Amino acid sequence: MSTIVITGTQWGDEGKGKIVDYLASKADTVVRFQGGCNAGHTVVADGEEYKLRLLPSGILYKGTLNIIANGVAFDPEVCLQEMDAMTARGIDTSNTRISDRAHVVMPYHRLMDGIGDAQRGADKIGTTGRGIGPCYMDRDDRIGIRVCDLMEKDEFAKKLKRNLDIKNGELAAVYHHEPLEYEEVLKEYQGYAERLRPLVTDTIPLLNEEIAAGHKILFEGAQATMLDIDYGTYPYVTASHPVSGGVTVGAGVAPKKIDKVVGIVKAYCTRVGEGPFPTEQLNAIGEKLREAGHEFGTVTGRPRRTGWLDAVVVRHAGLLSGIDYMAVTRLDILDGFDEIKICTGYKHKGQLLKGVPASLNVLAEVEPVYETFSGWKTDISGIRSYDDLPENARKYLERMAEITGIALGIVSVGPSREQTIVLAKDLF
C-alpha cells in the first residue's frame, strides 16, 4: 500500500499543482477529494501550461485513473468544458471517474453565492461566486442534488422542481433576482447527464480496491489549511476540509489507509480575499513579491495579498494534518531579495501565543515575531541538488523545518517538473 495526501499549509496558491503533478507522474491513481471549481492548479508539463479546476492532475498521464470523489462540489458544466479543452490539446480524459455521491453545483448556487457575498458589503467573504458554499449548504440542509440523482431522469426532474420552488422564492425575496426557468435548467442538466453518464460510478469500492491492490494513490485537495471550514480564519474560509482528514470523508477511505502526508509550503505567504493576514506586506516588499511571483489567481485572476513566510501557520497545519514532509515551493522567487524574514511566533498584548488564535480580532492584532535571514542574491532555478543550493538558501530552509517541526521532503526551484529537488526517499 502506498497512499500520499497533498495538503496546502497556508491560504492556498502554494504551488500544489507543481508538486501534485510531480508525484502524479509516479502514481497509478489520482483523487480529488474536496472543494470545487473555485480553486485551480497550474501545471507546467513539457513546456505546456495547464490550468486544472476539477480534473485531477493525473489527467496528464496516459493510463492513470483519475477520480473526482464524493467530497467534491461537482459542477458538470465546468467539468465538461475542462474535458473538452483537454481533448482539444490531445489529452485523453476517458480514464476519469466521477462519484455518484458528489453533490451537483446548480445555477441557483452560483447566483446566491455571488449576490449574497456582495450583499454583505464590508463583511464580504471574498468568494469566487462559483456556487461552492451554497452547494455544500444544500448538502447539509439535506436538499442537495447528487450525481446519482442527475443520472436518474425522473428523480432529477422531481428534485429540481422542488428545489426551484424553494430557491426562486429566495431569489425574489432575499436577492431581488428574477426566477430561474425550470425547463431551461432541466434541459441543460439532462444534456450534461448524458455526456457524463459513462464516467459516473460508485468510487468508494473502486478506490479501496486500488489501495488493496497495492497501487500508488495520490490524494489532492483544493485550497489549504487556513481556509478549512473549521481550522482556518473563519468565516473567511472555504466550505470544506482541505486538511488531510478531509480524505476520509471526502473519498471514503479509512484513516489507517493513509501512509504519508506532504504539506505544500510556499517560501513566502499569499492569500486571496478578506480576513486577517499577520505577515502581509502592504509596501514595496509586498509588491515585489507579487510581481516576482506573478501572484494572480489561477481561476479568478485576482491580485493576491503577499507577505513573509508565517511559520506559525505552517506549524498549525502540521499539527492538524500530521504532515510528514514539507514540499517548499517558489524558493526561486526570493532570489532577488537582500534579506528575507520568517514569522516564528505571534505576540498579543505582550504575551507570546502558542498557536493560531481562533478569534479574528486577536489574529488581526497580533505582532509577528520575525527572524531575519540574508538573501542569496543568485539564480537558483538551474540547481538540481540540495547541496548545490546557496548556503543562505539552505539556512533558510533548515530553519523553516526546525521552527515548524516538519522535515524537508521536496524543494522546488521553478515551475517545471525537472526543477524539483527531492530529499525524501520514501515517497513514490
Q: Is 12 annotated as a binding residue?
A: yes
Q: Which of 237, 329, 332, 425 is nearest to 20 (CA)?
A: 329
Cell (9 digits) for 172: 425574489
Q: Is 13 annotated as a binding residue?
A: yes
Rounded to 10 degrees, what is the CA torsion of 411, 304, 12, 384?
A: -10
Asked whether 69 and 33 are in contact (CB, 8 A), the reply is: yes
Q: Is 17 annotated as a binding residue?
A: yes
Instruction: Give me the catalytic one of 21, 41, 117, 324.
Output: 41
Q: Is 16 annotated as a binding residue?
A: yes
Q: Is 414 annotated as a binding residue?
A: yes
Asked whether 15 and 40 are in contact (CB, 8 A), the reply is: no
Q: Is 87 annotated as a binding residue?
A: no
Q: Is 304 annotated as a binding residue?
A: yes
- Supply angle C-alpha 265, 267, 271, rounded to 5: 75
Q: Is 303 annotated as a binding residue?
A: yes
Q: Is 331 annotated as a binding residue?
A: yes
Known catalytic membership, residue 13: yes
The span from the CA of 15 to the CA of 7, in Å, is 11
Known catalytic membership, residue 21: no
DSSP 328-357: EE-GGGGGG-SEEEEEEEEEETTEEESS--
Q: In whole angstroms, how far apart are CA 38 and each of 75, 110, 236?
A: 10, 11, 14
Q: Is 354 annotated as a binding residue?
A: no
Helix residue ranges per DSSP H, 345-418 = 360-365, 391-404
DSSP 119-168: HTGGG-----SSSHHHHHHHHHTT---BHHHHTSHHHHHHHHHHHHHHHH
Q: Is 298 annotated as a binding residue?
A: yes
Q: Is 38 annotated as a binding residue?
A: yes
Q: Is 97 annotated as a binding residue?
A: no
Sign of CA dihedral 99, 100, 101, 102: positive
Rg (CA), the chain: 22
The span from the CA of 391 to the CA of 306, in Å, is 25
The span from the CA of 234 to the CA of 273, in Å, is 12
Q: Is 286 annotated as a binding residue?
A: no
The span from the CA of 36 to the CA of 13, in Å, is 15
Q: Is 299 annotated as a binding residue?
A: yes
- Supply angle C-alpha 34, 35, 40, rounded to 5: 120
Q: Is 110 annotated as a binding residue?
A: no
> With left for phi above 0 and alpha for psi between -120 and 50, is residue 268 left, alpha or beta?
beta
What are the residue numbers of the active site?
13, 41
Query: Where is the binding site for Mg(2+), in residues?
Result: 13, 40
Q: Which residues are annotated as a binding site for GTP?
A: 12-18, 40-42, 304, 330-332, 412-414
Binding residues for IMP: 13-16, 38-41, 128, 142, 223, 238, 302
- Name the binding residues: 12-18, 38-42, 128, 142, 223, 238, 298-304, 330-332, 412-414
